[in-house]
Amino acid sequence: MKRKSVKFIALLLMVLFAITLVVGCSGGETKKEEPKAEEPKKEEVKVETTVLKIAHTLVADHPYHAGLVEFGKILKEKTNGKYSVEIYPAAQLGSERESIEGVQMGTIDLTLVSTAPLAGFSDAFLVSDLPFIFKSREHAYKVLDGEIGKDMFTKLEGSGLVGLAFWENGFRNVTNSSGPVVLPGDMKGMKIRTMENQIHMDSFKVIGADPTPMAFGELFTALQQKTVDAQENPLPIIFTSKFFEVQDNLALTGHFYAPAPLLISQNLWDKLSAEEKEIFQKAANDARDFERKIILDMDNSLLSELKANGMKVTEPDKAEWQKAMLPVYEKWQDKIGKDLIERVQAAGQ
């Protein structure tokens, strides 16, 4: 019995030893660290940027330009870099009329212009070109940012142009190189440059002046060479385009209010998704408010600058000028629509 149990224990020990050997080999081996699979590098998602061409006719110091830079900043941010802008100031891409044509053809993506030259493309804005139709900025904004302004943009359908928002050029004043202007009759025979707009030309004809339509880009030279005696523009343009260098007299007539619609090419607009359209619209509205504020600040501060640059300033009685230009309403009310004129006037009551 004793010998058997010794044998059994020895066998048991050998089996246990063998098992330990097998387990030890497999479990003992220090597991080679499996190389960690490389974390897939987050691919930088490269956004293809579309650079939009924007044209305007004023110098880069004018609020038109600052407003468009703001528009581009908002657009780039809200589209995560999908859209950015390249702004061409000072009529680099042509006059306002040529820029509007470029937007229609899609060779220019957006343009910021006064409503006046749009008369050659659509009747939609004629009411805003009437003398003294807007009593104040508040009146203008109430009309342009409301239903009437929306109707104006709707009338652009089919023209290749889409109106995004009405920015501001502002209330226009007469400058000249002949002498002080107070009464409308003081402009008798005076050669005044106007925008390419028949209502503007009729408004100066009716007070005895001699209107010449001309692209903005030619105006400074025409004043310098006395091809024309006078011009009319808001203070921010008179200052930033340095008209005080070639015009001695400024009459604060405020005879026209010039809205400045931001227009986008229909081709481009149709390619935008619903979400992108919303982003473009909001950027146009936010940049509009930004630009209007700069114009207002400049309008309030530039008079002293212009006087300091030698301009002699008169403050005509606006009621006199309004009465003198009234026949223009008679001539244009059928074309524009008496009811539309009355709606716009009622908004200012």
Q: Whose Cβ is closer to ligand EAX: residue 233's or residue 345's? A: 233
The site string for ligand EAX over 252-291 (x = CB under 6 A, - otherwise) reads: ------x-x-------------------------------
Q: Rounded to an integer, what distance in angstroms lies between the CA atom of residue 64 and that of residue 96?
A: 13
Q: Are 252 and 174 in contact (CB under 8 A)?
A: no
For residue 104, the surrounding DSSP H or E stretch is helix 96-105
195 binds ligand EAX (CB under 6 A): yes
Question: What are residue 259's DSSP bridge partners?
Answer: 168
Of 64 and 83, the one with the shorter C-beta distance to ligand EAX is 64
User: For the chain, how big is the Rg over CA atoms in Å?
Assistant: 35
In the complex, minimum distance from the CB of residue 100 to ligand EAX, in angstroms, rounded to a whole number: 11
Look at the chain and count its residues: 349
Q: What is the DSSP string of 150-205?
A: HHHHHTTTTTTEEEEEEEEEEEEEEEESSS---SGGGGTT-EEEE-S-HHHHHHHH
In angstroms, give the least distance from the CB of 184 to ligand EAX. Answer: 20
Is residue 169 part of the contact set for ligand EAX (CB under 6 A)?
A: yes
Q: Indicate which single residue of 87, 237, 251, 302 sits in contact with ligand EAX (rule: CB under 6 A).
A: 237
Write each residue from 199 to 218 as x if it is in contact with ligand EAX (CB under 6 A), else as -, in one continuous string. Answer: -----------------x--
Q: CB of 314 within 8 A of CB of 181?
A: yes
Which of 113, 126, 246, 306: binder of ligand EAX (CB under 6 A)? 113
* Residues 6 or more apart whose Cβ sits within 8 Å of residue 219: 193, 228, 231, 241
CA distance 130 to 327: 11
Q: Which residue number, 260 or 347, has a Cβ lying nearer to ligand EAX?
A: 260
Q: Closest CB to ligand EAX among 202 and 345?
A: 202
The footprint of ligand EAX on residues 50-69 (CB under 6 A) is: 57-58
Interface with ligand EAX includes 233 (CB under 6 A)? yes
Token reading at 50: 């579309």
Site for ligand EAX contains 96 (CB under 6 A): yes
Kindly list the residues in this chain that would bind ligand EAX in the complex (CB under 6 A): 57-58, 96, 113-114, 169, 195, 216, 233, 237, 258, 260
